[in-house]
Chains A and B, each alone.
Chain A
Amino acid sequence: MERGTREYALWSIGIVLIVFVALLPVVWIVSLSLKEPSTITTGPGISVWDAFFPKEITFDNYKSLFEGGIDDSPFIKPLINSVLIALITTLISIVLASFAAYAIARLNFPGKSAILAGALAIAMFPPISTVGPLFDMWRTLGLYDTYPGLIIPYLTFSLPLAIYTLVAFFREIPWDLEQAAQVDGATPFQAFRKVIVPLAAPGVFTAAILVFIFCWNDFLFAISLTSSDASRTVPAALAFFTGESQFTQPVGSIAAAAVIVTIPIIVFVLIFQRRIVAGLTAGAVKG
C-alpha cells in the first residue's frame, strides 16, 4: 500500500491534536497545583501563558494537604479510604465474578445468557435510583458512613463490569491444555496452577484494573452515604476542602489533591496500556 505525504501529514496533525487535547487539562491542573496561592487569581489583561503557567513553582499546596498528620489533614484519611475501599471492592468483585465468568465461559447450563444480559442491565442502572433507599437502609442498619456502606453499592457496577471482562477473556483461553497437561502426568491441581492460572491471570488482572478505576471514580455514593473522614473518599473530600476562611475556595489544595489522585491512574495507563485497551475492547463485538 502506498501512502502519500499528504496522508502522512494528516495523520500527524490528527495525532498531535489528540495528544494535545487529551493532556491539556492534566497539564493545567498540575500547573495550577504548583502556583503560589496568591498568584492563582487570574484576570483580564494577562497573557494566556502567564495565566496558564505558574510564575514561580511552589509545593506549598501539596505540603498543606499533609499538614497535621492523619488526624488533622483533610486529605490523608480520605486517600486511605479511597485506596482501601477500591481495593476491597475490587477483590470481592473479582473473586465472585471469576466463579461466574468461569461457569459462563466454560460450562453449559441454562440461564447463562440471562445472567449475562442481567449483569449488563444492572451495569446501566442509574445510581441515583438506589441512593435514597440505601441511605434509609444504612441509617437503620448502622452502615451509614462505614466502609461496607460504600463497598456494597460499588458492587452494583463493579460486578457486571468484572463478569463481562472476565467472560470475554476466559472464552479465549484454550481450556484443552489443562487436559493435555493431565494426560502428560500432571495432577489436576498442578494442571490448573501451571497451565490455567498463567493463562487466566492477565485477564483477571485487567478486570481488576478496570474495576479499581471505577471505584476510584465514584462521587455520587461517596457524597451521599458518608458524613465524616471515617469513610469519605477523595472525590467527596475534594468537594469539601476548606480555604483560607469559611468563604474562600481552596483552589490550590484542590488542584494538588486532584494531581495526587490522578497519579495512580497515569501509572496504570502507562504500564498496562495494552491490557486496558484489550480489556475495554474484549467481547465488545461478538459476531
Chain B
Amino acid sequence: MTLNWFVGTQPGGTIQEVAKRCTEQSNGEYTINVELLPTDASQQREQLVRRLGAEDSNVDLIGMDVIWTAEFANAGWLREFTGEDAERVTKDVFDSVIESASFEGKLYGAPFNTNTQLLWYRTDQVDEPPETWAEMIDEAERIGGFIQVQANRYEGFTVWVNAMIESAGTQILSGPEEVDLEEGSTTEALAMIGRLANSPAAPRDISTSNEDTARLGFEAGDSPFMLNYTFAYASAQANAPEVAKNMGAAVFPSVVKGEPGRPPLGGFNIGVSSFSEHPDEAFDAAACISSPESQLIATKLDGLPPSNETLYRDPVVRKAFPGFAKDVADSVRAAAPRPTTPAYTDLSLAIQRSLHPPDSINPDDPKPAYDKLYEAVSDAVKREGLL
C-alpha cells in the first residue's frame, strides 16, 4: 500500500531519505511516496489547499508549515492525534512547537523539524551581542553598517512583525477571532520597525529584503547584524568564509529592555489528511517521520533544527550548529508562534498590506500605522474586505 506524502522539497534530500527510512521500518506494510511541493511556503499552501478543498483522497500525509494548523484543522482537512499517537509524537518536544501543531487544544500535527531566527553578528566588529533593538540600531549606526532583516511584502515580513510585537510584550490575537494588539506595546514595536527602516542602518533594499537577500548582504561584509534562520551559517561558510570565521550567534533581541526577546518560530509538522483511506498506517508513518532519528536526518542533510529538546546534545546537532546549538534550543524555547486562526492567510496578508513598506511607519508617530494595522487585523479575522 502506498501513502502519499505532500511536502515542500528540501534541497539536501531530507524528505527522500526520511521517506525511505520509514518505508523500510514499516516492514512492507506501506510505501511512502513523496509528492514534492515548491519551497515557498505560501505556494506550498496554495497547492495543498486546492487538493484538500477538493477532498482528494490521494493525500495521506501533509508536511504542514506551523502556520497552517488552524486553517486546515478548522476546514476539517486534518485528523486529530489522540491517545498513544499524540503521546509518542510530542514526547520531549518544545512546548512552543506543540503549540504550533495544535488548534483549540487538540493536536493536529506530529512535530518534525522546527526553525528559528537567531541574531547573527560580527564578532570582529561587535564586542557583545546587543540585548535590545534600540541598542543594536545605535551600534550599527555607530559602526556604519547594516542590520539585515526580512521586510519584503511576504510571509517573512509577518514573521518579523509578529516577533517584534511579541517582544514588546503583547500579541496580535488572543483567540482565533479576538484581536489583542495592546496599544502601548504595539506602538512601541511598530516604532522600532519604523526606526530601523528609516535609519542609515537599514539596507537600501530593506523593503524588498528576504532571507536570501539578508544572507547575501551579510556575506558581502558590510552588515554587522542579521536576523535569520540557521541556514545562514552554512551558507556563509560556503560562500564567504572570511565572514563565517567571525560570525557569532545570539538570541533575538528584545524591544523592551529587561524583557526577553521572542524569536520567530518556523518549521514543519506532519498532518494526517481526513480524506486518507489509510489513517492507521498514516498515523504510524507520521510517528516515524517525526521520530528523533528522522529529525536527525533533517539536521544532518539540510541543517534543520530538531523539534525534540533532548536532541540538542546529540553530536549530529552539535556538528550542524557548531558552538551555537544551545542558542538554537534557547531560541526555540523562547519563540513566539505566529497567531493561531483559521483565517491566518487573511491575517498575514492584512499585516503585510497595512505595514508595508516598513519605512512608511513614522518612528516618532506610530499611531497612524497602529490604527491601520488594528483595523486591517480586525477585518481579516472576520475574512472581510479585499486583501
Touching in the complex, A and B, CB below 8 A? yes
- Point out residues on A near B: beta carbons under 8 Å: 38, 41, 43, 72, 135, 139-140, 144-145, 227-229, 239-249
- Taking a contact as CB atoms under 8 Å apart, the answer to whether A135 and B50 are in contact is yes
Q: Which residues of A contact B37 (CB under 8 A)?
A: 227-228
- What 9 pairs across the A-B complex have the smallest Cβ distances? A247-B211, A240-B38, A227-B47, A245-B231, A139-B54, A242-B39, A248-B212, A249-B212, A246-B39
- Taking a contact as CB atoms under 8 Å apart, the answer to whether A243 and B11 are in contact is yes
Q: Does B215 reach chain A (CB closer than 8 Å)?
A: yes
| Given known A227-B47, A240-B39, A248-B235, contact A41–B216 (CB-CB < 8 A) | yes
Which residues of B (43-102) have their CB < 8 Å from a CB of A?
Answer: 43, 46-48, 50-51, 53-54
Closest chain B residue to A246 by CB distance? B39
Q: Which residues of B contact A240 (CB under 8 A)?
A: 38-40, 43
Compute how far the CA of A114 lies from the CA of B47 in the bound complex, rounded to whole angstroms. 40
Closest chain B residue to A237 by CB distance? B38
A259 CB to nearest B CB, Å: 21
Q: Does B143 reach chain A (CB closer than 8 Å)?
A: no
- Taking a contact as CB atoms under 8 Å apart, the answer to whether B11 and A242 are in contact is yes
B228 CB to nearest A CB, Å: 8
- Taking a contact as CB atoms under 8 Å apart, the answer to whether A243 and B39 are in contact is yes
For the complex, would chain B's binding face be called helix, strand, loop or mixed by DSSP majority? helix
Q: Does B132 reach chain A (CB closer than 8 Å)?
A: no
- Taking a contact as CB atoms under 8 Å apart, the answer to whether B235 and A244 are in contact is yes
Q: Does B309 reach chain A (CB closer than 8 Å)?
A: no
- Taking a contact as CB atoms under 8 Å apart, the answer to whether B210 and A247 are in contact is yes
The CB with the most chain B CB atoms within 10 A, among A41, A239, A242, is that of A242
* Interface residue range, chain B: 35 or more
The CB with the most chain B CB atoms within 10 A, among A72, A145, A227, A229, is that of A227
B225 CB to nearest A CB, Å: 18
Compute how far the CA of A47 lies from the CA of B153 in the bound complex, rounded to whole angstroms. 31
Would you list 16 pairs from A and B whose C-beta atoms are within 8 A, ordered by A residue? A41-B216, A139-B53, A139-B54, A145-B51, A227-B46, A241-B38, A242-B9, A243-B11, A243-B39, A244-B238, A245-B11, A246-B11, A246-B302, A247-B212, A247-B231, A248-B212
Q: Does B264 reach chain A (CB closer than 8 Å)?
A: no
B54 CB to nearest A CB, Å: 4
For the complex, would chain A's binding face be called helix, strand, loop or mixed by DSSP majority? loop
The CB with the most chain A CB atoms within 10 A, among B38, B215, B239, is that of B38
A15 CB to nearest B CB, Å: 37
Q: Does B303 reach chain A (CB closer than 8 Å)?
A: yes
| Given known A242-B11, A245-B303, A246-B10, contact A227–B40 (CB-CB < 8 A) | no
A202 CB to nearest B CB, Å: 42
Additional 13 contacts, C-beta under 8 A, given A239-B38, A240-B38, A247-B212: A38-B238, A41-B216, A228-B36, A239-B43, A240-B39, A240-B43, A242-B9, A245-B11, A245-B302, A246-B8, A246-B11, A248-B215, A249-B212
- Taking a contact as CB atoms under 8 Å apart, the answer to whether B54 and A144 are in contact is yes
- Taking a contact as CB atoms under 8 Å apart, the answer to whether A244 and B11 are in contact is yes
Pick from A227, A229, A243, A248: contact of B50, CB below 8 A. Answer: A227
B53 CB to nearest A CB, Å: 6
Q: Which residues of B contact A249 (CB under 8 A)?
A: 212
Q: Does B283 reach chain A (CB closer than 8 Å)?
A: no
Compute how far the CA of A240 lies from the CA of B16 in the bound complex, rounded to whole angstroms. 19
Q: Which residues of A contact B239 (CB under 8 A)?
A: 38, 41
Closest chain A residue to B239 by CB distance? A38
| Given known A227-B47, A227-B51, contact A243–B40 (CB-CB < 8 A) | no
Q: Which residues of A contact B212 (CB under 8 A)?
A: 243, 247-249
Kindly supply a per-residue 1/0 record for chain B positions 14-42, scoring 1 wherever the CB is within 8 Å of any chain A CB and 0 otherwise: 00100000000000000000011111100
Q: Which residues of B contact A43 (CB under 8 A)?
A: 220
The CB with the most chain B CB atoms within 10 A, among A72, A139, A246, is that of A246
Q: Which residues of A contact B43 (CB under 8 A)?
A: 239-240
Q: Which residues of A contact B133 (CB under 8 A)?
A: none
Q: Does B112 reach chain A (CB closer than 8 Å)?
A: no
Q: Which residues of A contact B9 (CB under 8 A)?
A: 242
Q: Which residues of A contact B211 (CB under 8 A)?
A: 247-248
Q: Does B146 reach chain A (CB closer than 8 Å)?
A: no
Compute how far the CA of A115 lies from the CA of B180 in the bound complex, rounded to whole angstroms. 59
A215 CB to nearest B CB, Å: 22
Q: Does B374 reach chain A (CB closer than 8 Å)?
A: no
Q: Which residues of B contact A244 (CB under 8 A)?
A: 11, 235, 238
Q: Which residues of A contact B229 (CB under 8 A)?
A: 247
Compute how far the CA of A239 lies from the CA of B47 in the bound complex, rounded to whole angstroms. 13
Q: Which residues of B contact A38 (CB under 8 A)?
A: 238-239
Q: Which residues of A contact B216 (CB under 8 A)?
A: 41
Q: Which residues of A contact B210 (CB under 8 A)?
A: 247
B371 CB to nearest A CB, Å: 32
